[in-house]
């Protein structure tokens, strides 16, 4: 999947409390792209719909960080690149 496709997918779920964070290096070993979840229910809806409605086999996040009341979910760059997007792109 292209990063822009992933970003656009996340932006469709802003109503559910998700925000595109972009590039993220949470630890010295992690380099990826992150989504900020203001509401945990929103992340659950996102993950379920990505798989069932959009038919994108996105795995669980490779890295999570707690930002007080919010959670940051991040996927390795290679995870995003290697995730198949049936609606086009890689």
The dihedral over CA atoms of 74, 83, 46, 39, expressed in degrees to the nearest 10, equals: 0
Residue entry with tokens 């792109």: 89
Q: What is the pLDDT of residues 6-38, one digit of tens each?
A: 999 999 999 999 999 999 987 778 899 999 999
Check: CB of residue 38 under 8 Å from CB of residue 60: no
The helix (H) or strand (E) run that includes residue 40 is helix 40-52
Ordered by where they begin, the domains of the chain are 3-82 (3.10.28)
Q: What is the pLDDT of residues 47-73, one digit of tens each?
A: 999 999 999 999 999 999 988 889 999
8 Cβ partners below 8 Å, 6+ apart?
none
């Amino acid at each position: 999947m292209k990063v822009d496709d992933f970003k656009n997918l996340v932006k469709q779920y802003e109503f559910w409390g998700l925000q595109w964070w972009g590039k993220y290096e949470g630890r010295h070993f992690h380099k990826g792209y992150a989504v900020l979840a203001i509401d945990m229910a929103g992340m659950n809806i996102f993950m379920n719909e990505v798989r069932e409605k959009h038919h994108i086999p996105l795995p669980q996040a490779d890295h999570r960080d707690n930002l007080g009341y919010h959670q940051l979910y991040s996927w390795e760059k290679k995870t995003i690149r290697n995730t198949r997007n049936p609606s086009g792109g890689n």
